[in-house]
Amino acid sequence: MSEVRYSGVRESRPNRFNDLGTTGREAEEQFKKGCLKRADRSFAQGLQCQQINSMAALMSLEDSVFISHSPQGCVGCAIMAVDMYRVGQIHRGIKQVKNPRLLVTNIDQKSVVFGGEEKLRAAVKKAVERYHPKLAFIYASCASGIIGDDIDAIAADLQTEYPDTIMVPIHCEGFKSKICASGFDAAFLSINKYILKKQSVPKEKGLVNLFAPTTVSYADQREMERMLSLLGAKVNYIPFYSSLEKIKRIPAAEASTSICKVFADEFMKTLWEDYEIPYSHTVMPIGIRNTDKWYRGIAKVLGKEEEVEKIIAKEHERIEPLVAELKSRLQGIRVFICGGTGRSFAAAALIDDFGMKLVGLETPTYDADAQVDIEYLNEIHKDYVVDIANMQPFEQVNLVNKLKPDAFIGVPDWAAKLGIPTTHVLDGKRSTMGYDGLLYLGNKIADQLQNPGFNKKLAKHVKLPYRDSWYEEDAFKYIL
Amino acid sequence: MSQIMENPKGGCVLAGINSVLGAIDRACPILHSGPGCCMQTTAADQGQSGHKSSCFVSGVSLPSSNMLEKEVVFGGTDKLRTTIQGAIDIIDADAYFVLTGCTAGIIGDDIASVAEGYWEKGFPVYPIETPGFAGDSNLGYEVVWNTLIDQVIEKEVPKDERLVNIFGIVPYHDPFWSGTLEGIDRILSRLGLRVNTFFTKYQGIETIRKCSGAALNIIVNPWLFKGPAKKFEEKFGVPSIRIPGLFTGATDTSAFVRAVGKALDLEEKLVESVVESEEDYVYHYLGQAIGVVSWKRFAVVADANNAVGLTRYLANDYSFTPVLVIVSEPIFRPEDKERITGQIQNLEYAVPPKVLFLTDQYEINQAIREEEREITLLVGSSNEREIALEKDIQFILAAFPMNERLVFNRTYAGYRGSLTFTEDIYDNN
């Protein structure tokens, strides 16, 4: 019997839940007993579709073109990756900053009726003739999926026509998943299928794959590389700001690790299955505890357990006085956290470094991986609300308004309008990770929370769109 | 009829609709669409327009049916009903607009009858049945106004001879829309007029309902709003004048003021006194920095409205030399292209520049790259920065998409806006 391969849709994994309102303790118990059930929201606000993630993951690759087989609106969010690409070039000292080569086929009424194959062919032709790229990524969309355009077959055909460009179709149709991180998996599945092709390559001693999503700043890249080089590793930083050559080096690595919990986690499993590359999947290296954990994880895979302890001890010597000072400023502050899977749990661990108390946690998905973090958090924090939600600001403001935390960590837009002091652990243009990142991030958090004047004044003038009655209701009333 | 495009400027029609509604105070779009359309459509226009987005609901705050495989197969109207009901229950809006994503459009969900159910119960829920794939952001502006004309604006509103409606400045698709509308409002108020900008001053649905009482529709755009203007006149009897380009600087702004004065038969003395004092204000400043901004041979890449206005200001009022103007939004009617070209080429003293209509970034870059005459200033969008760096020419970020700038109420339009534009062009190098 042939093995069933992972489809790239995160919901296809058992025991993974996206719609849940609970507490830390209850979540842990119910999950253990297998009593959590798949739910839905009868009312919801917008999500992030997986196509956004598939695009963002790859749009900084060199010698590549990106073809979105979709109407024009589906490349809207590409601006985030485009901006990170442009700013990333500036940070890396590049003077002639380039745009990514992104083409949209612009599926229209005619394509909906007659199919969009011709447009896709024409777009690929244009892209190849203009840039002679090494890679052409072809992204599916809701529209292309529903009208039934076979992007795989078209790509295969185009491959014979343009042998010098590797065609990589990616199945990131938005309607296939509620979990946007599925889009990362869709991208990596295609990279494996069309570029790596299970071919074995000679191993490079000390080479480590470091998988990084688009939201990781250059400062963070350098810190991660510094930390890994202290273990004697050579870093293959991918796919952000990398190239076909670096992708092809993936199977040559001795180990893999990732900066984000939901980025390349599935791909690293595949790399183990197909190329026998061991990996470390731990946490996002934000804060002392998580940075240590992340560092020990990869060190163990590399057989550098003793070395890493020495380095960690030395780093702690440097960092701990600062953390002690921050702790004196932040001790006892009650915090509500909202973020993506990686950063929400990283922030929750970070606040423990500073002696802050967790009162609410909003994170997109609950699964075995989340359970590990929740078990850890339950040991420290007695009572906190858990909202398994991809944003859903209406639930967030309801909870924040009831819990009245001293601080909010996450996208500040809504809590700010309630006058709550806000700060964030996500900053794709500055430093947040590793030991060096903690210096910048810790000061930012303490300073921002100490000086909440902007939010307090703003809240007097700007009202959120919700009815007063909503704040009295059960925040989870629409989860059915 | 949409083209393959590299680095497109703006989104689909859904993005346009979403952005325009986002600029109406207390209007709540509800998306019947795939799970990403809220973010995508907000990012496509609002997200590339100087980092300002709707304060009421935008992005992931927008109610959405988030259609997944189940809805694609079995239809999504049940999900839409509970989404609308939830939106009414928790969001304190004056009007709700149900928008159609590609998914809902292709599978053919009947959103009109779902909306009608709420309408019958007395809730202001309006369906907009134009799916994302039907066109681009500009079409969204016209679709919203057609919807408002068909479903929201009231007939039998008493006429107000001093009330005017402003059309043609597309919120977020023009990053300077707020400042521009505030500027137009300021100037027309000096003529004793009351101004419906619709998107500033907290003017919301109530202003829209009563806007059929206006004496005149003023379209500030060389091509948009042809269909809605005709419909508006037929249904409500309000005539229109078209100002064929967004005026920047004294010459064109005064022409605008005089055109409005003439259309409304305003007292000439009043009109001329406003023109004189506004022009004096501008030249009082320009006179204090003569020869400070060095002479330039320039190219402009922008939407038609700004391409006309910025080119005419630099050529007619600032005596720079126009070389190349690229209108970078899709324009299909030959008559519109002719009008736009005429506005750009019919200059007072300057030799007319070359005018091209290109929406594809590669073609735009090639046109600038291959231009034989020297260009020393490029006025464009964030997308044109690359070619400016490549050719090592001074670059001014003045058009959509605009990503390296935060814009609240800044504008380059009008009398005062031209001073801001000139300030920004100054380069000490």
Q: In Å, what is the CA distance from B85 to each residue of A20, A437, A466, B65?
A: 21, 45, 14, 11
What is the predicted pLDDT for the residue at A1?
41
Instruction: Dig out the tokens for B183 from the structure.
Output: 């500027």
> Can you tell me the distance from the alpha carbon of B249 to that of B312, in angstroms, rounded to the nearest whole number?
9
Residues 2-31 of B with CB under 8 A from A: 2-8, 10-15, 26, 28, 31
- Of B72, B174, B222, nearest to A173 by C-alpha is B72
The answer to whether residues A386 and A373 touch, using CB atoms and an 8 Å cutoff, is no
> Can you tell me the distance from the alpha carbon of A48 to that of A312, in angstroms, rounded to the nearest whole number?
37
Q: Where are the alpha helices (DSSP H) in A106-150?
A: 109-114, 117-131, 142-147
Query: Tell me, what DSSP letter sits at residue B265?
Result: T
Overall pTM > 0.90: yes
pLDDT digits (tens, 9 = 90+) for B176-218: 999 999 999 999 999 999 999 999 999 999 999 999 999 999 9
Angle at the Cα of A40 from the Cα atoms of A35 and A44, rounded to 5 degrees:
140
Instruction: Decide if B11 and A101 are in contact by the 8 Å CB cutoff.
Output: no
Instruction: Dig out the tokens for B394 from the structure.
Output: 């001074």
Domain range B13-152, CATH class: alpha beta
* pLDDT tens track, chain B, 429 positions: 689 999 999 999 999 999 999 999 999 999 999 999 999 999 999 999 999 998 899 999 999 999 999 999 999 999 999 999 999 999 999 999 999 999 999 999 999 999 999 999 999 999 999 999 999 999 999 999 999 999 999 999 999 999 999 999 999 999 999 999 999 999 999 999 999 999 999 999 999 999 999 999 999 999 999 999 999 999 999 999 999 999 999 999 999 999 999 999 999 999 999 999 999 999 999 999 999 999 999 999 999 999 999 999 999 999 999 999 999 999 999 999 999 999 999 999 999 999 999 999 999 999 999 999 999 999 999 999 999 999 999 999 999 999 999 999 999 999 999 999 999 999 987
For B372, the 3-state DSSP assignment is coil
Which residue in the set B66, B92, B102 is minimally distant from A143, CB to CB? B102
| Contacting residues of B for A97, CB less than 8 Å apart | 385-386, 389
Which residue in the set A73, A119, A180 is minimally distant from B44, CB to CB? A73
Mean pLDDT on A54-75: 97
Query: What are the residue boundaries of the structural domains of chain B, listed by start?
Result: 13-152, 163-285, 289-425
* Preferred mutation among A55, A59, A74 to probe B, highest tally of B CBs within 10 A: A74
Residues 354-383 of B with CB under 8 A from A: 361-362, 383
- For A183, the closest chain B residue by CA position comes to B36
Q: What share of chain A is helix, strand, coil (3-state, %, to 5)?
A: 50, 15, 35
Alpha-carbon torsion angle B291, B297, B301, B304, nearest 10 = 80
The answer to whether residues A388 and A20 touch, using CB atoms and an 8 Å cutoff, is yes
Q: Give me chain B's average pLDDT, please.
A: 97
> Can you tell me the distance from the alpha carbon of A306 to that of A298, in angstroms, rounded to the nearest whole number?
12
pLDDT over threshold 80, residue A2: no
Instruction: Dig out the tokens for B204 from the structure.
Output: 């919301």
- For A112, the closest chain B residue by CA position comes to B106
Q: Where are the beta strands (DSSP E) in A315-412?
A: 334-338, 357-363, 385-388, 407-409
The answer to whether residues A244 and A63 touch, using CB atoms and an 8 Å cutoff, is yes
Domains of chain A: 51-179 (3.40.50.1980)
Instruction: Dig out the tokens for A89 from the structure.
Output: 């070039």
Instruction: Dig out the tokens for B2 from the structure.
Output: 């949409």
Task: Give the ipTM.
Answer: 0.97
Look at phi and psi of residue A187 and say left if phi exceeds 0, alpha if psi is from -120 to 50, else beta.
alpha
- Of B258, B358, B378, B218, nearest to B314 by C-alpha is B378
* Other Cβ atoms closer than 10 A to A473: 15
pLDDT digits (tens, 9 = 90+) for A260-304: 999 999 999 999 999 999 999 999 999 999 999 999 999 999 999
Asked if B40 reaches chain A (Cβ–Cβ under 8 Å), the answer is: yes
Q: In Å, what is the CA distance from B38 to each residue of B15, B19, B92, B96?
A: 9, 11, 19, 15
Q: Is B163-285's fold the same as B289-425's?
A: yes
Q: Which long-range contacts (CB under 8 A, 24 or more apart) does A443-451 make?
A: A443/A326, A445/A326, A445/A330, A445/A354, A445/A409, A446/A326, A446/A329, A446/A330, A446/A354, A448/A421, A448/A422, A448/A423, A449/A330, A449/A333, A449/A406, A449/A407, A449/A421, A449/A423, A450/A329
* Other Cβ atoms closer than 10 A to A200: 11
For B348, the 3-state DSSP assignment is coil
The CATH number of B289-425 is which of 3.40.50.720, 3.40.50.150, 3.40.50.1980, 3.90.850.10? Answer: 3.40.50.1980
Look at phi and psi of residue A332 and say left if phi exceeds 0, alpha if psi is from -120 to 50, else beta.
left
Look at phi and psi of residue A116 and say left if phi exceeds 0, alpha if psi is from -120 to 50, else beta.
alpha
CATH entry 3.40.50.1980 includes domain B163-285: yes
